[in-house]
Amino acid sequence: MSAIPYVDAEQIRASVTPTAAVEAIEAELRAGLDVASLPPRSAVPISNGQWLIMPSETTTAVGIKCLTVAPQNPARGLTRIQGLYILYDRDTLAPTAVLEGSSLTESRTPAVSIAAIRPRLHDGMGVLVFGDGPQALGHVETLRALVRPGWVRHTTRSHPAENLERLLAEADAVICCTSAREPLFDSSRLRDDAVVVAMGSHEAEARELDSALMGRAQVVVEDVATALREAGDVVIAAAERALDPGSLIAMSQVVTGEVALATDRPVVFKSVGMAWEDLVIAELAARA
């Protein structure tokens, strides 16, 4: 068997532009991919974090991502997420490429978030970002590839933005990219037409947004069943009877135009990350 090519982080970043990643995610959903039928992610606890196993299939390929999540890595100068992606031919199931996993995650996560809220993006919007790690920077880069924000401000727990309440009240978009386990802010400060992305957690016990916002907002998720199992922002709000699970909207309904995003109340996109998203971006990187 010939050597299987390895696509490293530098090659992924060079070949997968933010705009191309967003368009690839949108194209897969418009082609009719049924994300609800795909196998769920497996999370296996290990001594220093988690091992995530994420198999998936699309109309053109099969793949699996094997990741580790190491909460102590940032203190070591490393990213929290490490791993590999193995891409297979859909017909023969022979491996066709191996890709570096964490940079793949860094590319696909903001692409998914921006695809889910794209109808609400516009030039001149004010953007408040919670977090300053790779995902926070990736979301801003992807946002800037599609629109020209009027302003972008970052805030973290250790370095809060000045006048945070004022920024919350003025922001058109709030992007949450943290490892927080409790709400990051008082949602009563948000405008009625604000759009919020929360992507920091895939655990049912952790959340970045309060239940008041989840009950007040139009809530979009990647997949309803997955969100009710893994998205703490959704699970906790539903348990507190602030959010009706029946009101959740799948992002495919937004991307295909089946459901319009509200403009008279906040819109929340809650992401936990799904395996099909990695497969779409892995295909894009391997082709390039």
pLDDT per position as a tens digit, 211-270: 999 999 999 999 999 999 999 999 999 999 999 999 999 999 999 999 999 999 999 999
Does the pLDDT value for residue 15 go beyond 70?
yes
Question: Nearest to residue 248, comparing CAs of 263, 257, 236, 238?
Answer: 238
Non-local CB neighbours of 13 within 8 Å, separated by 6+ positions: 103, 107
Task: Give the ranges where the chain is alpha helix by DSSP (H).
Answer: 9-15, 18-30, 101-117, 134-146, 164-170, 211-216, 224-230, 232-239, 251-255, 275-287
pLDDT bucket at 158, cuts 50 / 70 / 90: low
Identity of the amino acid at 284: L
In degrees rounded to 5, what are phi and psi of residue 114?
-70, -35
Whether the domain at 6-106+276-287 and the domain at 112-273 fall into the same CATH topology: no
| Beta-carbon contacts of residue 272 (< 8 Å; ≥ 6 apart) | 199, 201, 202, 222, 226, 227, 230, 231
The reported pLDDT for the residue numbered 60 is 86
Query: How big is the CA angle at 7 (ends 10 and 134), to the nearest 5 degrees?
Result: 40
pTM for this model (two decimals): 0.91
Question: What is the CATH number assigned to the segment(s) 6-106+276-287?
Answer: 3.30.1780.10
Q: How many angstroms separate the CA atoms of 44 and 242, rounded?
A: 31
Among 148-157, 190-199, 245-254, where is mean pLDDT lowest? 148-157
Report the C-alpha gap between 121 and 131 in whole angstroms.
20
In this structure, of 15-19, 161-165, 176-180, the range with the lowest mean pLDDT score is 161-165
Domain boundaries, the chain: 6-106+276-287, 112-273
Q: Report the CATH superfamily, name and number, of domain 112-273.
A: NAD(P)-binding Rossmann-like Domain (3.40.50.720)
- By C-alpha distance, which of 101, 39, 97 is closest to 69? 101
CA angle, residues 102, 103, 107, in degrees to nearest 5: 120
Using only the alpha carbons of the chain, give its radius of gyration.
18
